[in-house]
Amino acid sequence: MRSRFDEQLSLLNKKMTQMGAECEELIARVAKALLNGDIKAAREAKACGREIDQMEREIESICLKLLLQQQPVAKDLRIISAALKMITDMERIGDQAEDIAEIIPFLNGRTGAEFADFKPMAEATCKMVTDSIDAYVKQDVALAKAVIEYDDVVDDAFGRMKDMLIKMISENKADGEYAVDLLMIAKYFERIGDHAVNIAEWVEFSVTGVHKGE
């Protein structure tokens, strides 16, 4: 019975890693399309979101089977419960990356390159997602804590971006629409960082049994 459970748990970890990799790939492709002003690449990246949605359903099915058939306890139960929470955040990460891809064509080839924080913010967000999934697979609490702390980097960059874009809107009406689109993109990156933090907090729970909200 235990060997069967371990096989299913291994499958769960494999699927979680794959879903995380899909999220990482989607964010990276969207960020590259944005920074290169590549509308075609943005449209192609958006299509990847469907794969993430499918993987969420597959992982949810595996988790429910493990809960109903194996009735896990202690750490095994925490790992499965955390996975169910995490896939919701990963699916939302995919959705928000798709939202960014939808906006890129309206930038008309502009890339936000005039804002020094834009590229580092996108890169920092990608790092948070990658590290949060790695923390789950490795059950690495130290890495999970590092992800949570790294959120300050994204939040600070977003704050600076927001101030500059609001100033642009007030001083240059012709660029108002462009500034609003960039502000929306920056907000989506900031939200993706928040979801990575949620994932990291569930990693902590799966290892320690204590969640930040408790």
How far, rounded to the nearest angstrom, does the alpha carbon of residue 85 sit from its chain's CA centroid? 13
Percentage of the chain with pLDDT > 90? 57
The pLDDT value recorded for residue 55 is 94
CATH architecture type of domain 2-208:
Up-down Bundle (1.20)
The pLDDT value recorded for residue 213 is 60
The pLDDT value recorded for residue 187 is 96
Residue 189 φ/ψ region, left for φ over 0, alpha for ψ in the -120 to 50 degree band, beta for the rest = alpha
The pLDDT value recorded for residue 144 is 96
* Contacts with 2 (C-beta within 8 Å, 6 or more apart), sequence order: none
The pLDDT value recorded for residue 1 is 57
CA torsion sign for 80, 84, 86, 91 is positive
Q: What is the mean pLDDT of each run of 10 residues along the chain (214 residues)?
A: 81 91 90 89 82 93 90 87 94 94 91 87 90 89 96 95 92 90 95 96 91 70
Cα-Cα-Cα-Cα torsion 176, 193, 87, 206, nearest 10 degrees, comes to: -160
The pLDDT value recorded for residue 43 is 86
The pLDDT value recorded for residue 72 is 84
The pLDDT value recorded for residue 60 is 96
The pLDDT value recorded for residue 202 is 94
Domain ranges within the chain, ordered by starting residue:
2-208
Instruction: Specify the amino acid at residue 36.
Output: N
